[in-house]
Amino acid sequence: MPRRDDIETAFRQAIVMEPSGRRTVTTADFLKVLLTFNWDWTPREANQWIEGHVSTFKDISQQEGELRTFMMYNPNGGL
């Protein structure tokens, strides 16, 4: 049974640290990790959660659609 606390854990696990130090997370990666916690969300639901619960990431997607990319813009901040 999925637990609400696992959503934030899944988001943190989906964050990728690039060699330049930039931290990004994609909707697709977030969805993959959510499935390991038994949360089966649509890309739209995942994006809505990110936009509503995470204030330190901004959308840097290059294309339109629900599969988006978010980048941390305040590395000193938290979720």
Query: How many separate domains does the chain show?
Result: 1
The 10s digit of each residue's pLDDT in 9-25 is 999 999 999 999 899 99
- The Cα–Cα gap between 19 and 3 comes to 33
Name the pLDDT band for 74 (thresholds 50, 70, 90).
Answer: confident
The 10s digit of each residue's pLDDT in 36-55 is 999 999 999 999 999 999 98
Nearest to 35, CA basis, from 73, 2, 75, 69 = 2
- The Cα–Cα gap between 79 and 77 comes to 7
Q: How many CB atoms lie within 10 A of CB 3?
A: 10
* Single pTM value for the model: 0.90
In this structure, is residue 77 part of a structural domain?
no
In this structure, is residue 79 part of a structural domain?
no
Who's near 63: CB < 8 A, 6+ residues apart? Answer: none
In this structure, is residue 78 part of a structural domain?
no
Domain boundaries, position 11: 5-72
Residue pair 34/77 in contact by the 8 Å Cβ criterion:
no
